Amino acid sequence: MKKYLNIAFVYAIAAMAGGVFYREFTKWQEFDGVTALGKVHTHLFLLGMMMFLVVALFSMHYDLESRRAFRLFLWIYNIGTPLTAVMLAVRGIVQVLGLSEGLSAGANASISGIAGIGHILTGLGIILLLVSLKKAATVAVSA
């Protein structure tokens, strides 16, 4: 359980840093508008911190570590979620600096594509977690 609380703590710190960066960077650039940079904070809090607080609670009742799907979840999810957040930050910085118009089609597609890969990995991680929880609950009920 402590491991998952530590992961949640790291995501919470990253979320706060993302929120402060968003606030200060847009203020410094005198940017007044909607940007993807503002979503980094919430993605890291909800998909990072909250997810691992829930995982910590489940780990108290189920032996999740023994499940292959859960171990895969840990790797895939912890690659996908930060990747998504980083690419949201990249997209947001480009928007705040007004570089969107000067960005080549390839660079624009690359940012979107890498962010998409991050979202896919995060989604796959969620599915793996649900499969692990379902199997763990089935074993617990039959025991």
Tens of pLDDT, residue by residue over 119-130, are 999 999 999 999
Higher local confidence (pLDDT), 117 or 1: 117
The pLDDT value given to residue 59: 94
Measured in degrees and rounded to the nearest 5, phi and psi for residue 47 equal -75, -25
Cα–Cα dist 83/76, whole Å: 11
The pLDDT value given to residue 139: 77
Higher local confidence (pLDDT), 139 or 143: 139
The pLDDT value given to residue 46: 97
Per-residue pLDDT at 82 exceeds 80 = yes
The pLDDT value given to residue 143: 58
Q: Are 25 and 96 in contact (CB under 8 A)?
A: yes
In eight-state DSSP terms, residue 115 is H
Contacts of 110 (CB under 8 A, 6+ apart): none
Q: What is the DSSP string of 117-141?
A: HHHHHHHHHHHHHHHHHHHHHHHHH
Per-residue pLDDT at 103 exceeds 70 = yes
